[in-house]
Amino acid sequence: MSKKGRILVGMSGGVDSTVTALLLHEQGYEVIGITLNILDYNYTGERVKNPCCSIESIMGAKEIANFIGFKHFIIDVKNEFQNKVVDKFVDEYMAGRTPNPCIRCNSDIKWGEMVRQADIFDCEKIATGHYANVNEKNGRYYLTRGKDKLKDQTYFLWALDQYTLSRTIFPLGELTKPEVRSIAFTRGHTQIAHKQENFDICFVPDNDYRLFLKERIHDLEEKYAGGNFVDVEGNVLGKHKGYMNYTIGQRKGLGIALGKPVYVVSIDAKTNTVVIGERDKLNKNGLFVNEINMMKYEEISEPKEVSTMVRYKSQAIESKVSKFDDSTYEITFEANVQGIASGQSAVFYEGDDVVGGGIIKESF
């Protein structure tokens, strides 16, 4: 083992994980690369266009490891990914919520498996190419936004637990994306340096979640098409294609003309009802979150001033977080917020530090 120690690096075949492995190797660590095989390609077929999880990317990661000069292993986690991420994704849409599968994949699949493999290979730390930082204070590990605020990925990592964070490092946390691409280019990885990113859901072909649901649930259209569009007073305005085809805040593709712009305000899966209204009907004063994971503090006993993100890339909103009961936190906003969808994540920050996060249960 190297004098600096052995580090397990999660590799996707993209520029970020490539540079992560490269930098650690150059710093004198013994690097072991792993790539998780999460997709059943016999099922998804050729319609999958996302490069992050393709067979080509998996083999590309192995080629990179061979080129740099360290061991690389491909780990099959298809069954776990199917059970914990894909099935949950379908269940959430069928419950009338809007899931964010990347967050569950990170905490339940990627980091869970990387920690397990790190123990097998006797690696003290694991590393990935995320743009974030890990800090420790008063015995608590927590995430801090990376240097590149446009690429910051702490929103997707709020569910990582204390033990996992204590084992994790992010070598790109103090770099910008252009700097990372430049490092790859100057080290001879020219093709990787210019590789385009893809933000689609990796297991949903063509990013068409509606078709994905229809392929997985028998007679979906026959069972749910023809439900009611109603206004906020409950007046029937027309028929829709099934509640799972709509998301909160959606305006385009509703298939109903009322002579003015209208948006999906709420969804009732039990009655197959979609409530629509004008933009101001999306205004919310706050929300409740459950499945809480606290980072910077063990708990919040008194209301605390924070800023909250309710979607990735959304503006952080000045707010106040307080404990509602043993499993729920309440977040109230200083100004109205629109487009809050149950099933998405709310992540609350103190400056650049992640205080904690949770799954949005409902808004008010």
Structure tokens at 345: 């994540």
Rounded to two decimals, what is the model's pTM?
0.92
pLDDT at 45 over 70: no
List of domains in the chain: 6-129+171-206 (3.40.50.620), 218-281 (2.30.30.280)
Q: For the residues 29-57, what does the mean pLDDT come to?
A: 72
Distance CA 215, CA 242 (A): 15
pLDDT for residue 200: 79
| Confidence band, pLDDT 50/70/90 cuts, at residue 57 | confident
Q: β-strands 263-268, 168-169: how paired? A: unpaired
| Confidence band, pLDDT 50/70/90 cuts, at residue 41 | low
pLDDT at 50 over 80: no
- Which residues form the catalytic set? 105, 202
- Mean pLDDT score of the chain, rounded to an integer? 93
Q: What is the pLDDT of residues 156-201, one digit of tens each?
A: 999 999 999 999 999 999 999 999 999 999 998 988 888 887 777 8
Q: What is the Cβ-side half-sphere exposure of residue 248, based on CA atoms within 13 angstroms? A: 27
pLDDT at 3 over 80: no
Q: What percent of the chain stands above pLDDT 90?
A: 86
**188 to each of 34, 64, 141, 175, 184, how far by Cα in Å?**
22, 11, 36, 19, 7
Q: Please state whether 271 falls in left (phi above 0), alpha (psi between -120 and 50) or beta.
A: alpha
pLDDT at 142 over 70: yes
pLDDT for residue 208: 92
Q: What percent of the chain stands above pLDDT 70?
A: 96
pLDDT for residue 54: 74
Distance CA 140, CA 296 (A): 6
pLDDT for residue 282: 97
SS (H, E, C) the chain: CCCCCEEEEECCCCHHHHHHHHHHHHCCCEEEEEEEECCCHHHHHHHCCCHHHCHHHHHHHHHHHHHHCCEEEEEECHHHHHHHHHHHHHHHHHCCCCCCHHHHHHHHHHHHHHHHHHHHCCCCEEECCCCEEEEEECCEEEEEECCCCCCCCHHHHCCCCHHHHHCEECCCCCCCHHHHHHHHHHCCCHHHHCCCCCCCCCCCHHHCHHHHHHHHCCCHHHHHCCCEEECCCCCEEEECCCHHHCCCCCCCCCCCCCCCCCEEEEEECCCCEEEEECHHHHCEEEEEEEEEEECCCCCCCCCEEEEEECCCCCCCEEEEEEEEECCEEEEEEEEEECCCCCCCEEEEEECCEEEEEEEEEEEC
Say which residues have a Cβ less than 8 Å from residue 339's Cβ, sequence separation at least 6: 248, 249, 282, 310, 311
Q: What is the pLDDT of residues 310-353, one digit of tens each?
A: 999 899 999 999 999 999 999 999 999 999 999 999 999 999 99
pLDDT for residue 47: 46
pLDDT for residue 175: 98
Q: For the residues 87-108, what does the mean pLDDT come to?
A: 96
Q: What is the Cβ-side half-sphere exposure of residue 162, based on CA atoms within 13 angstroms? A: 13
pLDDT at 44 over 50: no
